Amino acid sequence: MDGHRPALSGRTALLLSAAPLIFLGVFFVWPVASIVLTGAVGPGGIRSSELIDTWLSPHTRAVVWFTLWQAVISTVLTVLVALPGAYVMARYEFRGKRLVRALATIPFVLPTVVVASAFLALLGPRSPIGVDLAGSIWAILLAHVFYNYAVVLRLVGGVWSRLDPRTEEAARVLGASRWRAFREVTLPQLRPAIISASSIVFLFTFTSFGVILLLGGQGTATLEVDIYRTTAELLDLPAAAALAILQVVGVFALLVLYARTQERLAVTGRLRAAADVARPPSGRRAKAIVAATVGSMLVLLVVPLAVLVERSFAGDGGYSLAAYQGLFTVGSQSGLFVAPIQAVTNSLGFALFVMLLATALGLLAAAVIAYRTGWLSRGFDALLMLPLGTSAVTLGFGFIVALDRPPIDLRTSPLLIPLAHTLVAIPFVVRATVPLIRSIEPRLREAAAVLGASPRRVWREIDGPVIVRAVLIGSGFAFAVSLGEFGATLFIARPDTPTVPVAIYRLLGLPGTLNFAEAMAMSAILMVLTGGAILVIERLRGNEAVSF
């Protein structure tokens, strides 16, 4: 055992990992490998010249350049905007802090199509403030900051809340200015967390799809969007596969660089309990800092969503419930083969299926990772994270290419949707459950065994309650992830089985005030569903460590 962690035998670990490995092999490795073969191999052998021509074409170079620079700027802006919030949430205790933290987390778990819809309502042609930035880079950058704010708040704020403030206070006593004390004492300890948060934000913005698709202009495309357009509009599968290979290589390089950077920047420091660090703001200056920071957070994070809800009630003749009533009818102008409300039913059904499947597979994987040590645990953990670092559009494209012939022919099956969602949800379940399982105090098991409890009773009364809580948190994340998945679903959803994000996208593509209002109404419904899921997770999580 390592760190008094109960070990699983090799045979038990192999049995527990079999189902997740088979699922990952069939529905992730095979589709991604099929994309590589489609792009790299043709009737005459390897398409080396075609691949090189696609990669070096002026269009591809322009797309790659835009993908890179918008991700860099989005990352820098997100870190700069979120650091004050991370400081206030880490160092101060105030009324409503837990609610503010939950509200700040909701945008991150919202579907990207809802985020894009919110900024389209706020900054689009029907903007209530008279500013039309739709199609500009500014709308994209603002939406990316809004969406990724919680990443910096959580990761940097989580570390900041456990740094001993007395080291910085000692520097101040010795004559250092406030800025110098921060720069030379606190910043070096925060640097690993800042780099980690920046890397994750960069990865998310590098593979941005829904925000770019809805807020960008016709000539605006990341690699993710270009893969979709090349497939869905140009029907050029080899070129799309070549772009997908380029993106897979880029994402893999980013993940490797991230892992190496984390090892190199690892800093050991004196950590304290978060409850011992935070204090009520005392003095006019501290209260002003807290009020201004929390106020700006709420403006950034709440106003776009509030405008989205307001636009769902707005029509040509004033405010009404027409948009919500229209969700229950199939009209010629709806652009959907079913009533829009059917998409809500579809999404809820898929999310429940994903919740059950992802929780079962994720819990099996988490048991192996939490109760085993060495290369098997680390390697299995890294393998399960791969779908989270892979483009959702690439994954959906892979499903089309790979799962269209026996022995697994799912071309016309709606089952493709929850299977794709499960791949993305499993890493969230694992990351939610492993820290909680590892947090079980080993001395409790030892004490129970000394008092005569059987191994089964020890598991039932000590590990069991914690694992049940971990399962509930993981299930909530799986449910929320499934509700909001857009990139892969847009590829594989059938016309008669749209999900809410797909229905929103189709409605936004149609002219007319009513269609726009219905898209906003669908976005508001999806916001409530995902927001409710994350609030339940926050309540279950309490002060326990969850890797998000």
pLDDT at res. 510: 79
| Residues 144, 211 contacting (CB under 8 angstroms) | yes
DSSP letter at 29 equals: I
pLDDT at res. 1: 42
Determine the residue type at 134. A
| Residues 125, 76 contacting (CB under 8 angstroms) | no
pLDDT at res. 2: 46
Count CA atoms within 13 Å of residue 396 on its CB side. 24
Shortest CA distance to 367 belongs to which of 352, 356, 380?
380
Q: What value does the CA radius of gyration of the chain take, rounded to a whole number of Å? A: 24
Measured CA to CA, the distance from residue 207 to residue 392 in angstroms comes to: 8
Helices (H) and strands (E) in the chain, counts: 26, 6
Report how far apart the first and last C-alpha atoms of the chain are (Å, whole number): 27
Q: For residue 408, list its beta bridge partners.
A: 405
Give the mean pLDDT of the chain.
Answer: 79
Q: For residue 135, list its beta bridge partners.
A: 216
* CATH class of the domain comprising 1-36+321-548: mainly alpha
Determine the residue type at 103. L
Going from N- to C-terminal start, the domains of the chain cover 1-36+321-548, 50-318
Q: Domain 50-318: which topology?
A: MetI-like fold (1.10.3720)
pLDDT at res. 545: 45
| Residues 486, 391 contacting (CB under 8 angstroms) | no
Q: How far is CA 230 from CA 225, 381, 388, 390, 506, in A?
A: 9, 33, 23, 18, 18
Exposure string (b/e) for 512-525, b if CB count within 10 Å is 16 or more? Answer: eebbbbbbbbbbbb
The percent of residues above 90 in pLDDT, for the chain, comes to 7
Burial class (CB in 10 A: 0-12, 13-18, 19+), 66: buried
pLDDT band at residue 3 under the 50/70/90 scheme: very low
DSSP letter at 216 equals: B
Q: What is the mean pLDDT of residues 255-266?
A: 59
Say yes or no to pLDDT of 184 above 50: yes
Q: For residue 92, list its beta bridge partners.
A: 279
pLDDT at res. 7: 54
Write the pLDDT tens digit of every residue in 512-546.
788 888 888 888 888 888 877 777 776 766 555 44
Write the pLDDT tens digit of every residue in 133-158.
777 888 899 999 998 998 888 878 87
256 CB-near residues (< 8 Å, 6+ apart): none
Instruction: Report which of residues 391 and 492 the model is more confident about.
Output: 492
pLDDT at res. 4: 47
Instruction: Report which of residues 246 and 266 the model is more confident about.
Output: 246
Shortest CA distance to 232 belongs to which of 511, 501, 484, 487?
487
pLDDT band at residue 355 under the 50/70/90 scheme: very high
| Residues 487, 210 contacting (CB under 8 angstroms) | yes
pLDDT band at residue 72 under the 50/70/90 scheme: very high
Instruction: Report which of residues 490 and 350 the model is more confident about.
Output: 350
Q: Which residue has the tokens 């499947």?
A: 357
